[in-house]
Amino acid sequence: MIRINENYGKLASSYLFSTIAKKVREFTEKNPGSDIIRLGIGDVTLPLSPSCIRAFHGAVDEMAEEKSFRGYGPEQGYDFLREAAAEHDFRSRGAAVEGDEIFISDGSKCDTGNFQELFAPDIRIAVPDPVYPVYVDSNVMAGRTGAFREGRYEGLVYLDSTRENGFVPAPPKEKVDLVYLCFPNNPTGAVARREQLAEWVAYARENRALILFDAAYEAYIRDPEIPHSIYEIPGAREVAVEFRSFSKTAGFTGTRCAYTVVPKCCHVYDASGKAVPLHDLWNRRHTTKFNGVSYPVQRAAAAVYTPEGRKEIRGLVDYYLENARIIRERLAAAGYTCTGGDNSPYIWVRTGTDSWKFFDRLLTEARVVTTPGSGFGRCGEGYIRISAFNDRSRVSQAMDRIAALS
């Protein structure tokens, strides 16, 4: 008899965005022709930049000729992309990362979801609350939690991210082995200052813990005091993995390209306490279960690092940041308290009422789709997340509609 992984039965509900999609579908079925503005899921709307498109086309043409055709590439990614990422994303900021410490993949969702496979079933895990759901659900599926009770899984250590701590939790008093951090944060839009990240690095070093640092929104940081990478913090290379994505940086949500940095000096431990290089473990996992990102996609991603490419993608990100500014200012003028949206494409809005109720009100009365904060965790109750990824005129229209409600 083929039996199921019973851990799947513990999952609290269907994936947050599927639930939202279902609600929107039901609303449009009942109200055909409704003009819905989507500021829910964080998906980009602007096309790939000209440099990326040129490189993409050029690489497709190479695939059409026998002499330049390429079959399987290196699973870890082509050197031209790994080297460019190491140089421009890290070394140019004074963070020491080598090209061969970078693993190119088809997305940070997969990387952040898969990484937990390397660790023992009984490690202690800390996750922020609210949180990008993939970190939690992938550990539930792997059997590292108990049941879901009162909005939380037993066995996880939750790091409350609240107004009181500026949505940046400090390390816990207790010992944990694995910590997920995400800055700029999805969903709150909060960013971590250098000294806050330094506290986490010190905690990880002291406890022989590992930090999984998700920097998918790094390109939105505009405050020069805010670190873009955890490796800007001295001592982080030994205790942290960093996830990066071209999705929100360069509009690759549909094209798919990301990478994970695993420094060679980062160690984890076997049952006897012996240090094991994490790079070797991830390399083994990645080369066994993944066969590389397509050559044209990697060429398109590498174009992001050319002088023109850098200018163009800065323009893309600036466009969404201007949307974010409009959302923040219009909502503040309408009397809402907001955070985020200055170094992040997400605005975290206090609703003063139940998240799903407020979501429903915005959907049915303003025909604007947002994301209920409670879908990201218990501390998200009383908030909604608004995404700046949409056309400027649609963003303004959505703000007119929400302002008219209040």
> Residue 41 CB, nearest distance to ligand PLP (Å)?
8
Angle between helices 307-333 and 50-63 (to 10 degrees): 130
Say whether residue 182 binds ligand PLP (CB under 6 A): yes
Give the whole-angstrom CA distance, residue 320 versus residue 323: 5
Please state, in angstroms and rounded to a whole number, the distance separating the CA atoms of residues 102 and 113. 17
H/E/C letters for each residue in 70-112? CCCCCCCCCHHHHHHHHHHHHHHHCCCCCHHHEEEECCHHHHH
For Cα atoms 193, 317, 220, give the angle at the middle one, nearest 5 degrees.
Answer: 5
CB of 296 to ligand PLP, least distance (A): 17
What whole-number distance in Å separates Cα of residue 53 and Cα of residue 59? 10
Query: For ligand PLP, which is the closer residue by CB, 178 or 366?
Result: 178
**Given the structure tokens 């937990």, which residue do they identify?**
116
Among the listed residues 38, 109, 286, 299, the single contact to ligand PLP using CB under 6 A: 109
Give the contact letters, 195-224, x = binds to ligand PLP (CB under 6 A), - = no: -------------------x-x--------
- The reply on whether position 253 binds ligand PLP by CB under 6 A is yes
Of 107 and 309, the one with the shorter C-beta distance to ligand PLP is: 107
Report the nearest approach of ligand PLP to the CB of residue 183 (Å).
9
Using alpha carbons only, what angle is made at residue 110 by residues 88 and 13, rounded to the nearest 5 degrees? 135
Over its C-alpha atoms, the chain yields an Rg (Å, rounded) of 21
Region near ligand PLP per CB under 6 A, out of 108-116, 122-130, 315-323, 376-384: 108-116
* Short-list 320, 218, 317, 297, CA closest to 52: 297
Task: Answer yes or no whether residue 260 interacts with ligand PLP by CB under 6 A.
Answer: no
Q: How far is the CB of 135 from ligand PLP (least distance, A)?
A: 9
- The 21-50 site mask, x for binding ligand PLP (CB under 6 A), equals ---------------------x--------
Question: What is the number of other CB atoms lying within 10 angstroms of the CB of residue 328?
Answer: 23
Given the complex with ligand PLP, which of 207 and 253 has the nearer CB atom?
253
Considering the complex, state which of residue 253 and residue 396 has its C-beta at the smaller distance from ligand PLP.
253
Q: Which residue among 245, 339, 344, 390 contacts ligand PLP (CB under 6 A)? A: 245
Contact residues for ligand PLP, defined by CB under 6 A? 42, 107-109, 112, 132, 182, 186, 214, 216, 245, 247, 253, 258
